[in-house]
Amino acid sequence: MTDKTVQKLVQGWETVRYELLNTRIADLGLHAEGSPVDKPVQRLYREIEAKKIRFRPRVYLTDGWGCPDRSPVIGIPFYLADRRLARIEEEQTGEIEDERGIMMYLRHEAGHAINYAYRLWKRPGWVETFGAFNRPYRDIFRPDRASREFVRHIEAYPYGRTYAQKHPDEDFAETFAVWLKPRGEWRRRYRYWPALRKLVFVDGLMRSIREEYPGAGRGRTFKPVERMTYPLADHYGKKAERLRRVALGYVDDRLREVFPPVRGDVLRPAYSLFRKHPDKLTWRVMRWSNLSQASAETILRKLESRCRILGLSFRPGRAEEKFLDVVSLATALAMDYAYTGRLTG
């Protein structure tokens, strides 16, 4: 391939890219059916049918992965329905789901959808196994990466190792995903883990609903692609703006929990933690949240700014503890954003 040919290809892509970025997402004619994402969706359906579950979660295209609260539908990022949009997503964010990652997300979301469709959280033993379904999502928590109380599902995406610890609903979805995966050999893999009891419970629960049809209807959607009546370029602008909002005023109360009022002659400003370990903080947030470096740095810069504005401080002897608290807070915010594309938990 000559240099001129390469140059023409680059110029051709830039033209296509420009046109797409300036087209309203609702006008892109996107549909999950028949698109590149249809193949993994059909694979998911076959896996569910193999388990003799009489429910196929409806899928729809939206701005990120997720199930609306208690609604048995699966939201799939719209860019996965068009290879050109997937390329733009990768250029804009530095990452894109591969087929393995898509299946991991689909199995996880199927766990939510089936939980909601059959109202499984109300079944005997669910709360005793996973915890109270109505428990508030924790914005600050320190994930225990060594814990064997939880399954490890989305291993290719770092936060998957700890996401189950965030909420009982997430714990169930991750456990269901491990149970659903063909040839997952979960009994052998988890035979010495306390998490095995959760898998056994899910196995029994799924067997108990084989003859049942779900009580929930089609379910409501959140921001379906046909209602995204703004240009594709604005979508990426809105992403950046959401990241800025996340760390601006919305987390002041969380920062005050991490850095409560203290007295003393020798105190360190909270923002100094960000200044002293910028690379280490960024690396840890990226590792556990799957955000790009630029996105992780955006959250950390804004957290640093709020610490400075609020005048927060801490005692020197607690620097290591506070560093871990900051990592936990930033990672929790990043996990929400990376996983759902919006801060819904």
> pLDDT of 227-283, one tens digit each?
999 999 988 887 666 555 544 445 777 788 889 988 877 889 999 988 888 888 888
The DSSP result for 161-187, as a single string, is: GTGGGS-HHHHHHHHHHHHHSTT--HH
Q: For position 285, what pLDDT does the model report?
A: 81
Buried (b) or exposed (e) across 16-26, using 16+ Cβ within 10 A?
Answer: eeeebbeeebe
Answer for the pair 169, 97: CB distance below 8 angstroms, yes or no. no
Q: For position 299, what pLDDT does the model report?
A: 81
Does the structure show a pLDDT above 70 at 332? yes
More confident residue, 142 or 307: 307
Q: For position 52, what pLDDT does the model report?
A: 95
Q: For position 29, what pLDDT does the model report?
A: 96
Buried (b) or exposed (e) across 121-156, using 16+ Cβ within 10 A?
Answer: beeeebeebbeebeeeeebbebbeeeeeebbbbbee
Looking at the whole model, is its pTM more than 0.75? no
Q: Could you tell me whether strands 58-62 and 73-77 are parallel, antiparallel, or unpaired per DSSP bridges?
A: parallel
Does the structure show a pLDDT above 90 at 154? no
Average confidence (pLDDT) over 151-158: 64
